[in-house]
């Protein structure tokens, strides 16, 4: 397994776990408030946890394979990573448009932030999953 694929696995799992926690926290807070979207301050620690956990994960991976961690993508990997990023960007754009349409239809603009953040989480998971699939298929 290449370093990039291993990194995609680790980051994908990390985002699945933290994204599920974000959703659980959101649903619990919304249920406690009678269905109203919870305040943004409740979710600020999420960003810190994701950043710190990502840094720690990448440091551990780099310590395990220092030569591979410093190597730029080769001519085989570049188009695969670009294609995964492209498709993930399309997913993100589609989810943002869907969020805006939902808010326009429902009139509940307080939920827009959470829909966009959820779309970001989903699109990043999609990017890591596609990197794994493309790197495996191209190997």
What's the average model confidence in pLDDT over 13-40?
A: 84
Report the candidate in 75, 66, 57 with the shortest Cα–Cα distance to residue 14.
Answer: 57
pLDDT of residue 10: 94
Apex CA 134: angle with CA 131 and CA 139, to 5°?
120
Question: What CA–CA distance (Å, rounded) separates 7 from 114?
Answer: 27
The 10s digit of each residue's pLDDT in 48-104 is 899 999 999 999 999 998 888 888 888 888 999 999 999 999 999 999 999 999 999
User: In total, how many domains does the chain have?
Assistant: 1
Question: What CA–CA distance (Å, rounded) separates 58 from 10?
Answer: 9
pTM of the entire predicted model: 0.86
Q: Residue 63 is encoded by which pair of tokens? A: 């310590």
45 is in which domain, residue-wise? 3-138
What's the average model confidence in pLDDT over 122-128?
A: 96
More confident residue, 36 or 2: 2
Banded pLDDT at 118 (limits 50, 70, 90): very high
Question: What CA–CA distance (Å, rounded) separates 63 from 65?
Answer: 6
Q: Taking 90 as the threshold, does the pLDDT of residue 25 lie above it? A: no
pLDDT, averaged across the chain: 89
């Amino acid at each position: 397994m290449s370093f990039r694929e291993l990194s995609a696995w680790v980051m994908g799992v990390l985002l699945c776990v933290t994204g599920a926690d974000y959703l659980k926290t959101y649903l619990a807070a919304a249920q406690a408030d009678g269905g109203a979207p919870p305040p943004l301050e409740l979710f600020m620690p999420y960003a810190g946890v994701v950043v710190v956990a990502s840094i720690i994960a990448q440091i551990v991976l780099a310590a395990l394979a220092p030569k591979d961690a410093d190597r730029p993508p080769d001519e085989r990997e570049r188009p695969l990573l670009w294609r995964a990023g492209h498709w993930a960007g399309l997913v993100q754009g589609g989810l943002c448009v869907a969020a805006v349409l939902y808010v326009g239809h429902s009139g509940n603009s307080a939920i827009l932030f959470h829909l966009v953040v959820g779309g970001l989480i989903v699109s990043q998971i999609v990017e890591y999953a596609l990197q794994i699939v493309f790197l495996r298929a191209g190997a």
